[in-house]
Chain A
Amino acid sequence: MSHKVTIPIGPYHSLQEEPEFYQLTVDGETVIDIDVRIGYVHRGIEKLAESMSYHKIIFLVERICGICSTSHPIASVQAIEDAGGIEVPDRALYIRTIVAELERLHSHMLWLGLAGHFLGYNTVWMWAWKYREIVCDLFEAITGSRQSYAMMKVGGVQRDIEDEYIPGLIKGMDDTLRALDMFKGAVLDDPVLGARLKGIGILSKEDALSYSALGPTSRASGVDKDVRRDDPYAAYDRVKWNVITQKEGDVFAKAVIRILEMYESVSIIKQCVQKMPKGSIDSNPKEIPPGEGIGHAEAPRGEVFHYIRSDGTNSPARYKVRAPTYMNFPTFKATVIGETISDATIILAAIDPCYCCTERKMTAVNQKTRKRSFTGDDMIKLSQEKTRRLYKRMTGKELR
C-alpha cells in the first residue's frame, strides 16, 4: 500500500538569497511531486527603483543578492548605458571583468563547500571555504569590502585598481590555481562521489531549453550558451577563454562545470591584469534620454537580466529585474520527481539556490497525523549516510 507523505521545506531564513518554500510529496522513499513557492520576503525592488535616481539604483540592486552582489550592478549599469548610448572607457571594462570573475570564483567555491557538506564530505567543505578566503581577501584589498563591492557606476567604475595591488592579485590567482588542482583531483577522480552523483537529478537538454534554464544548470545539459560570449560585455571579447559544457545533465556534471569554470576565471583575470590599459575609468555621463535599455550579465548562477524604461527624468519609469534562479527553480519539476528523498537535497542544491540556510527549516510532516517525522538536519544526515554506505561498500573503509 502506498503511503504519501508531504514534506514542507522552508520558507524563512534571513540569510537566504531568495527565500523559498519547497513541498515534496513522497511515496516511501521516492519523490512523486514537488511544489515551489517564492515571494516570502519580496522587497519590491522594482517599485523602489522607480523612486530613485539612476545613481542610487546601482546600490539598490547590489543588495538584491549578497553572493552575486556585482552581477546585478553590472547588468544595471549596462541597461542604463544602453538606454543612454553611453560609452565606457577601456580600463573600466577590464576592471568590471576582474571583479565579475573574482565573484564567480568565490561563489563557485562557496557552492562546492556546501555540496561537500550535504554529501558528508566535510573536508571538502572546510577546504573549499578556506581557499575562498583568498578571493575574499583580494576583494577587501582592491575594493574595500569582502562583499557588496560597490565598484560599478554608470559610465565606468567607482574605484581604480591601483598598481600596487596587482602583484597580490596575481599571487592570489596562482594560489587559487593550486587549490583548484587539488579540488579537481579530489572531486572528479573520486569513485564514491562519481557513484553518488552520476545519473541523479538529470535535466535533459530539451527541458533545459524549454525552461530556458541558465548558467551551469543549462550548460551541464549540453546547452552551449553563455552571455559572456553570446553578447559580450565588459572585456570578455578581448580575452581568450572557453565556455564549459557537459552532456550528462546530472548533479556530477553541474559540479564539473563549476570546477572547470573556475580555471577559466583565473585565466581571464590574469589576462585582464596584463592587458588592462592605463587611462580614465569613468566617462561621467550627465543625462539619460527618454527610451529603453536592456542589460544582461552572466552571474555565477546564470544570466541576470535588467530592463529599464526612461522618461527623461533622473529616475526610471519602469525597472524590471530577473535573477537567474527565477528561471532555474522551475526545472525542479523535471529533475527531482522520481528520485529518492536522500538524493533530493543535493539535486535541489545543484542549481545553487543559496541552499545553506534552507536546511535549518526543513521538516518532514506526516500528512495524516500532522506530526513531525524528521527535520531538515535529518534530511542532510540521510544524504550523508548514503555517501557513507557507498564509501564503505566501495572502499571497505569507514568515511571520516
Chain B
Amino acid sequence: MTKDELLKKTKERFGDRIRNIFEKSYKRIYIDIDPKDLTDFVKFIFNESEARFNTASCVDMLDSMEILYHFSFAKASLVVSLRASLDKKSLVIESLTSIMKGAEWIEREIHELFGVEFKNHPNMRKLLLPDDWPEGLYPLRRDYKEEDYEIRKAEKEEGKS
C-alpha cells in the first residue's frame, strides 16, 4: 500500500477521530489519536493494511506520557507512528497483544520502565527488571533518581529484619 492510498483510507475511515497528521518527511508519518481509539486504528493498520509492527516507544513528557506505535509497510518506504498521549493521572491503555502477539514483550517493558497499565494483557510479568525491584519505581521516568532505588531497597531490607 502506498502512502497516499493509506492516508486516504485512514481519513475516510476515521475522519474526526484523527487528531492530527504530521508528515515529518516523505517516509515518516505521525498520526495523533485518542488513546481510546487505539485498538480500532491498530486493527485497521495491522490487520487490514498488512503493516508490520516495528515496536512501541514511550516518552515521558512530564505532565503526560506519550506512547508511539510504529508500523512499516512492504515496498512502501514508509513508517507510520500512532501517537497516543496519556494523562499522568490515569496511565491506562488497552493491550494490543490479542491483535498482534509481537506486542506482548514491549508492553511488559513499558509497564515496568514507565508504569503504564495495559488493560487485558495476558502475561504482565517483569521482563527486564529483577523480580525484587521495588513496586512503583519506574527507572525511565524523568523524575527517577538512583537514590530512590537505594532508599527503597534499604527500607525493604529493614522490613525483613
Q: Which of A47, A210, A305 is the one whose CB lies under 8 Å from B139?
A: A47
Report yes or no: A210 in contact with B100, Cβ–Cβ below 8 A: yes
CB-nearest residue of chain B to A328: B102
Given contacts A296-B54, A307-B68, contact A38 B127 (CB under 8 A): yes
The residues of B that contact A322 with a CB separation of less than 8 Å are 54-55, 106
Report the interface size for chain B: residues with CB under 8 A from the other chain. Answer: 36
Report yes or no: A294 in contact with B128, Cβ–Cβ below 8 A: no
Report yes or no: B55 in contact with A230, Cβ–Cβ below 8 A: no
Interface class of chain A by DSSP: mixed
Within 8 A of A (CB), among B1-60: 24-25, 27-28, 30, 52-55, 57, 59-60
Check if B149 is an interface residue, CB within 8 A of chain A. no
The residues of B that contact A320 with a CB separation of less than 8 Å are 55, 57
CA distance in complex: A90, B101 (Å): 39
CB distance from A165 to the nearest CB of B (A): 32
Within 8 A of A (CB), among B51-103: 52-55, 57, 59-60, 68, 70, 72-79, 81, 100-102
Given contacts A82-B25, A318-B57, contact A212 B75 (CB under 8 A): no
Check if A231 is an interface residue, CB within 8 A of chain B. yes
CA distance in complex: A38, B1 (Å): 35
CB-nearest residue of chain B to A326: B105
CA distance in complex: A264, B55 (Å): 28
Report yes or no: B70 in contact with A212, Cβ–Cβ below 8 A: no
- For this complex, 21 residue pairs linking A to B, each with C-beta atoms less than 8 Å apart, are A37-B127, A42-B129, A212-B54, A224-B74, A225-B52, A225-B74, A229-B75, A230-B73, A230-B74, A230-B75, A231-B76, A292-B24, A293-B24, A294-B28, A305-B55, A307-B57, A322-B54, A326-B105, A326-B106, A327-B102, A330-B101
Q: Which residues of B contact A (CB under 8 A)?
A: 24-25, 27-28, 30, 52-55, 57, 59-60, 68, 70, 72-79, 81, 100-102, 104-106, 126-130, 139-140
